[in-house]
Amino acid sequence: MKLCVALDLPTASENLKLVHEIKDYDVWLKVGLRAFIRDGKEFLKELKKINPNFKIFLDLKLHDIPNTMADAAEEVAQFGVDMFNVHASAGKIAMQTVMKRLEKFENPPLVLAVTALTSFDEENFQAVYNQDIASKATQFAKDTYESGINGVVCSVFESMDIKDNTSKEFITLTPGIRPFGENAGDQKRVADINMAKNELSDFIVVGRPIYQAEDPSSVVKRILEKL
Ligand code: C5P
């Protein structure tokens, strides 16, 4: 299991300060909408300058018509990031079109698809999808797997079921992690490290419990010791 640190701080300099503090650890860095919209591809280069071994997950959750998603995926692949994601609800044709477009790259990034956002509770999820989270997430995961995508973003609670319905090698990346039972914030379906391990999560994403800590590097160290 790998740790992915979410760089969700309000400014580039705060994110870079955090990355400097954790530069000696074997972690992935998650660059999300906030940082990317503000700081763009130059920011990705800054991260690699701090430690070229950092792996970068560009969490833009692409969702559009198939051709537009494939165009965006091609641009993302040219940044040299290691992983990015799309929304499974964009549909199988969109996901297949994205994967087809990436065939021209020698080392394409891994592509994940978001199933159910971890901020959803059952009631609000039902209102949008008219189905319960577990069965819809599994259905999204099957569509994703059949489309040639490498894995999914899901909550810890769906990880095992998704692997059972696809393949053990199918990647699950799970946000909503509160490593040592910290405050959940807006996340509704949170889990700790032991749960993530038991449910065979391949990547855990941790944001606020690290960047809001007084000493982020000691939290990263403690998490890595537990993995
Ligand atoms: O601060 P926290 O640990 O809750 O951060 C979780 C990170 O994972 C955020 O960057 C959020 O956008 C992202 N994420 C999520 N749920 C998903 C997909 C991504 O929380 N389903």
Counts for the chain of helices (H) and strands (E), in that order: 10, 8
Query: If pLDDT is split at 50, 70 and 90, which confidence band does 127 have?
Result: very high
**Burial track 151-183 (b if 16+ CB lie within 10 A, e otherwise):** bbbbbbbbbebbbeebeeebbbbbbbbbbeebe
Ligand 1 pocket, Cβ-based, cut-off 6 angstroms: 6, 8, 32, 59, 114, 117-118, 153, 175-176, 185, 187, 205-208
Q: Which domain holds residue 146?
A: 2-226
Active-site residue identified among 48, 61, 100, 221: 61
pLDDT digits (tens, 9 = 90+) for 16-32: 999 999 999 999 999 99
pLDDT digits (tens, 9 = 90+) for 107-117: 999 999 999 88
Look at ligand 1, atom 19, and give the residue with the nearest C-alpha: 175
Question: What size, in residues, is the chain?
Answer: 227
Annotated catalytic residue 197: no
Spatial distance between the Cα atoms of 141 and 161, rounded to a whole number of angstroms: 10
How many domains in the chain?
A: 1
Confidence (pTM)? 0.94
What is the domain-level CATH number for residue 83? Answer: 3.20.20.70
> What integer pLDDT is reported at residue 116 of this predicted model?
87
